[in-house]
Amino acid sequence: MTATLGDVAFVIGSMARTAVDNEGLFGELDAVVGDGDFGYSMARGFEAVLAGWSELDRASIGGFLKGVATTVMGRMGGTSGPIWGTALLRAGTVAGNESELECAEVLAMLWAAIEGIRQRGKSDVGDKTLLDALVPAVNALEGELLNGGAAADALSRAAVVASEAAEATRPMVAKRGRASYAGDRSVGTLDPGAAAVARMFQDIAASWSEHVGRSDSEAHT
């Protein structure tokens, strides 16, 4: 399995549409224990990515991801801007000047993004954040890919794991972000960041085969 710039752009575009389409849902989830700004911040940041889509640098995967990161940090406020900006920047640094990545490089890129989120948020798995969905999902993706699984299967597995992991944040006590002020009262609610990650994986997995089919037909014309 390899990933082209087109594949990376598809994933980013899908994530952006998920953020824009679910502004209300993510805002409602955040309002339960946070302050309700999560959906709005995510939507405004990724809306800016879609608005500037055609102007993004497409010379390399690293350049593309850094362009996305810059756009996100220019518009996305709250906790989300630094978190997603850092993740995209770190991923871009690993991807560098390549226009196609080997499987191991794709995984290294995802783990670098996760490490960036850990450092920026001073948080880890178990704190009731997006990491609680993202880390298990990338672990599942890695397991499938290293076993020789196809990208489509690996993404489907990651989407299932991410959804289960997001659901598993309900009984957790929030330790980061404004939800942490709620302490024990945060128990019983879904973490909005984890829910967003799960929804992104679901949407990517659902449309991946369509994307691959389109890429193949483009390659043959």
Binding site for other proteins (CB under 8 A): 27, 31, 33-37, 40-41, 44-45, 73-83, 85-86, 120-121, 175-178, 180-183, 185
- Least Cβ distance, residue 12 to other proteins (angstroms): 18
- Least Cβ distance, residue 102 to other proteins (angstroms): 30
Residue closer to other proteins by CB (options 58, 75) is 75
Residue closer to other proteins by CB (options 34, 136) is 34
- Least Cβ distance, residue 79 to other proteins (angstroms): 4
d(CA 147, CA 162): 19
- Least Cβ distance, residue 78 to other proteins (angstroms): 4
Residue closer to other proteins by CB (options 36, 96) is 36
Residue closer to other proteins by CB (options 43, 141) is 43
Q: Cβ(53)–Cβ(10) under 8 Å? A: no
Residue closer to other proteins by CB (options 48, 150) is 48
- Least Cβ distance, residue 174 to other proteins (angstroms): 8
d(CA 60, CA 4): 9
- Least Cβ distance, residue 8 to other proteins (angstroms): 23
Residue closer to other proteins by CB (options 77, 213) is 77
SS (H, E, C) the chain: CEEEHHHHHHHHHHHHHHHHHCHHHHHHHHHHHCCCCHHHHHHHHHHHHHHCHHHCCCCCHHHHHHHHHHHHHHHCCCCHHHHHHHHHHHHHHHHCCCCEEEHHHHHHHHHHHHHHHHHHHCCCCCCCCCHHHHHHHHHHHHHHHHCCCCHHHHHHHHHHHHHHHHHCCCCCCCCCCHHHHHHHHHCCCCCHHHHHHHHHHHHHHHHHHHHHHHHHHHHHC
Q: Which residues are bridge partners to 100 per DSSP?
A: 4
